[in-house]
Structure 1
Amino acid sequence: MAKSTSHILGELIGNFFEDVMKAPIRELCNKYNVYFDTIGSRPARSTKKISWTDINGSKHDLDYVIERDGTPDKIGVPIAFIELAWRRYTKHSKNKAQEISGAIMPIAEKYKEYAPFKGVILSGIFTDPSLKQLENQGFNILYIPFEKIVNVFQKYGVDIYFDENTSEQELSVIVDRFKNCTVLDKIAQELIDSNKKEICSFVGALELSIKKQIDYIFVLPLHGKEMRFNSLNSAISYITEYSNIPKDATIDRYVVGIFFNDGSQINCVFKDKLMAIDFLKRNSQYAN
Structure 2
Amino acid sequence: MVNMVASAGHKLGQIVGDWWEAHVVLPLLSDVASQLGLFLDNRFVERTCRGGKILWPDSDGNQVDYDYVLELDGTIGAKGVPVAFFESFWRRGARHSKDKARDDTNKLLPMRSTYPTARFLAIAACGEFTEPAREYVRSREVELFYISKTNIVAAFAKLGLTIDYPDSLPEPDKLKLVNDLEESLTDQAKKDAFSALKQIVGDKSFKAFQVKVASSLAAMPQEIRLYVLTRTGPVVFQTTEEVRKFLDTETDWAALGGEKHEYVYDVVYTDGAQFSVTASDLDELRQLHSQVETLEIHMRSLDITW
Q: TM-score range by the shorter chain?
A: 0.7 to 0.9
Q: Which amino acid aligns with 1:169?
A: P
List gaps (5 residues or longer) in structure 2: 233-260, 301-306
The aligned counterpart of 2:145 is 142
Aligned match of 2:28 in 21, 24, 27? 24
Distance 1:45 1:208 in 2: 29
The aligned counterpart of 1:75 is 79
Q: CA deviation at 1:92?
A: 2.6
CA contact (8 A) 1:270 1:276 kept: yes
Q: Which amino acid aligns with 1:32?
A: L
Q: Which amino acid aligns with 1:39?
A: R
The aligned counterpart of 1:194 is 200
Deviation sequence 1:66-91 (CA, Å, 0-9, x none): 11110010011111110001111111
The aligned counterpart of 1:123 is 126
Q: Which amino acid aligns with 1:178?
A: L
CA contact (8 A) 1:90 1:127 kept: yes
Distance 2:8 2:288 in 1: 52
1:35-74 to 2 correspondences below 5 Å: 35-74=39-78
Q: CA deviation at 1:212?
A: 2.8
1:204-243 to 2 correspondences below 5 Å: 204-218=211-225
- Secondary structure of the residue aligned to 2:135 is helix
Q: Does 1:265 align with 2:257?
A: no
The aligned counterpart of 1:94 is 98
Deviation sequence 1:213-247 (CA, Å, 0-9, x none): 22333456789x9xxxxxxxxxxxxxxxxxxxxxx
Distance 1:157 1:62 in 2: 33
How many residues matched?
264
- Secondary structure of the residue aligned to 1:91 is coil
Q: Which amino acid aligns with 2:56?
A: W
Q: Classify 1:221/1:152 alpha carbon distance in 2 versus 1 (closer, same or farther; 3 Å).
A: same
Q: TM-score, normalised by structure 1?
A: 0.80
Q: Classify 1:187/1:259 alpha carbon distance in 2 versus 1 (closer, same or farther; 3 Å).
A: same
User: Using CA pairs below 8 Å that are at least 6 residues apart, which structure has the higher relative contact order?
Assistant: 2
Q: Does 1:33 align with 2:49?
A: no
CA contact (8 A) 1:142 1:198 kept: no
- Secondary structure of the residue aligned to 1:114 is coil
- The share of aligned pairs that are identical, in percent, is 25
More displaced 10-residue stretch of structure 1: 87-96 or 9-18: 87-96
Q: Classify 1:76/1:272 alpha carbon distance in 2 versus 1 (closer, same or farther; 3 Å).
A: closer
